[in-house]
Structure formats: C-alpha cells, structure tokens
C-alpha cells in the first residue's frame, strides 16, 4: 500500500498531484474515519485551488454523513484552536504552509486541535486504497454547510489571556507584520493592536500568488522585510509563512533571528 500523507498532511502541485478527485476521496475517507454525524470544521488559506479543493473535500465529508462547518479563511493555528475550543470532532485545513505557490495541501486535525497521528493517517490511507468508505443514507445527508463565526475573536482573546496586556501597552511598541500576502493578516496585526502597538503591515493584501515574497520566511526571503523594519524604526518585525503556523522575528536593528538555530 502506498502513502499519501507526508510530514505535514497531503501536499502536491495543484491539479497535477493534488486533484479534486483525490481531495474528494480524502474527505470521504476522513469522514469515514471520524464517523457519521461527526462535526468537522474546515478552513483554508489563500492559495490558488483552495476553493476547489475545499469543495471537493466537503463533498466527500458530506457523503460520509458528516456535519461540516465552514471557518473561511484563517491561519492553521487558528483553526486548530477552534476545533478544540468549540468542541468539534475534528478539522481540515486546506494549505501547503510554506511551500511554493503552485502547491496546495490538506491537513487533518484531531479533536484536541493537534494534527492526527501517523497511525490515524494510515487508517485514512487504508480506507482510500481499499475504497472501504462509509456512504451515508440519503436521509442522513446534510443540506447546509453553515458558516462558523467568532473564531478569530476567540483566538485573539485566548492569546491575550496569556500575556500581561497592560504592561505591554505601557511600552507602546512599534511592530511590523509581514503575513506573506496570506491569512496571518487576520490575526497577528489584531493581536498587536490589542496590545497597544503601533502596527505596520508589509505584504498585507491577500494574494494566492504570493507576489510580495516566497511564502517560506527565511533569511533570504525576509531581506526586504528587515530593510523596511529598520527604515521604520520598529521594535519588532514578524514574518509569517503561508498559513501563519511559523513566525520569524526581526529586531530593531533589522537582524533576522532564524528560528531553526
């Protein structure tokens, strides 16, 4: 039996490796794995093909009798938080994280907000390769995919509960956020503003082609961000990847602090 899941979900070049047909099978297998009447939260980043893949995954989930809720555009950590915080049985995020623009991916999240284990990934793969999926009777099929609101606000509120808000506000920090033209723009600037920071954004417009820079934040791709940070005399700059599950920091002197050291 082959293997679909890599180190971080299923990823591939859009419409070549990762097709809507495969996405539907992943959704159907994930729905079979979670079980009929499970509540699954789904979201995505801004990559091309995201809407197509999400609709295909949703079709598979619905066929398995799952109740699907649409989280819209949001960072991966935000969806993971929401799955656990709001009591969902699982979640799926359509993203290829830091990969080049031609890639997209599908990541399956467990009820505790953490990516499913390798053992559970193998169970989903077995369902796909054996085609032993569950198809719900027609009377059990959901007719609607409701939008699930309030996720961003709950996520930001949760973050603020872990820091000394008033102390940070008193510092009046100046902060630059570079979300790489993607979903980090929905959360990091808001957190910084709630902390009383003067916030600047670079590459803050949503664009699945990532025109500002490559989605992976490295010492090379963040050179311009570092230059802007230095020119603006900010206290801190943050560079995200495509789904904002990683952050690289730049100090007031424009020095990039590489997170993997």
From CA 1, how far away is CA 187, in angstroms rounded? 40
Say which of 97, 117, 140, 158 is annotated catalytic. 97
- The SS3 of residue 52 is helix
CA count, 13 A, side-chain hemisphere, 133:
26
Q: How many CB atoms lie within 10 A of CB 34?
A: 26
Structural tokens at position 143:
């007719």
From CA 92, how far away is CA 12, in angstroms rounded? 16
**DSSP state string for 155-200:** HHHHHHTTS-HHHHHHH--EEEEE-TTTGGGGTHHHHHHHTT-EEE
- The strand order across the sheet containing 198-201 reads 198-201, 174-178, 236-240, 247-251, 256-257
Structural tokens at position 134:
């569950």
- The SS3 of residue 82 is helix
97 part of the active site: yes
Structural tokens at position 128:
């796909």
Residues annotated as catalytic (active site), given as ranges:
97
């Amino acid at each position: 039996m082959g293997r679909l899941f890599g180190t971080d979900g299923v990823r591939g070049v859009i419409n070549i490796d990762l097709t809507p047909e495969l996405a539907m099978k992943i959704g159907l297998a994930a729905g079979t794995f979670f079980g009929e009447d499970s509540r699954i939260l789904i979201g995505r980043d801004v990559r091309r093909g995201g809407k197509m893949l999400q609709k295909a995954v949703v079709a598979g989930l619905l066929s398995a009798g799952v109740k699907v809720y649409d989280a819209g555009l949001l960072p991966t950590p935000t969806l993971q938080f929401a799955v656990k915080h709001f009591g969902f049985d699982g979640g799926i995020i359509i993203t290829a994280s830091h990969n080049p623009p031609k890639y997209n991916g599908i990541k399956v999240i467990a009820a505790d907000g953490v990516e499913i284990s390798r053992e559970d990934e193998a169970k989903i793969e077995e369902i796909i390769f054996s085609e032993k999926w569950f198809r719900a009777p027609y009377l059990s099929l959901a007719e609607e995919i409701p939008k699930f609101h309030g996720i961003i606000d709950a996520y930001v509120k949760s973050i603020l509960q872990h820091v000394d808000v008033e102390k940070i506000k008193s510092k009046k920090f100046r902060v630059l956020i570079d979300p790489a033209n993607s979903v980090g723009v929905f959360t990091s600037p808001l957190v910084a503003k709630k902390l009383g920071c003067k916030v600047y954004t670079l590459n803050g417009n949503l664009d699945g082609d990532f025109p500002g820079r490559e989605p992976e934040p490295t010492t090379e791709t963040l050179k311009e961000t570092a230059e802007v940070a230095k020119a603006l005399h900010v206290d801190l700059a943050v560079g995200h990847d495509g789904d904002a599950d990683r952050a690289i920091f730049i100090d007031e002197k424009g020095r990039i602090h590489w997170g993997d050291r």
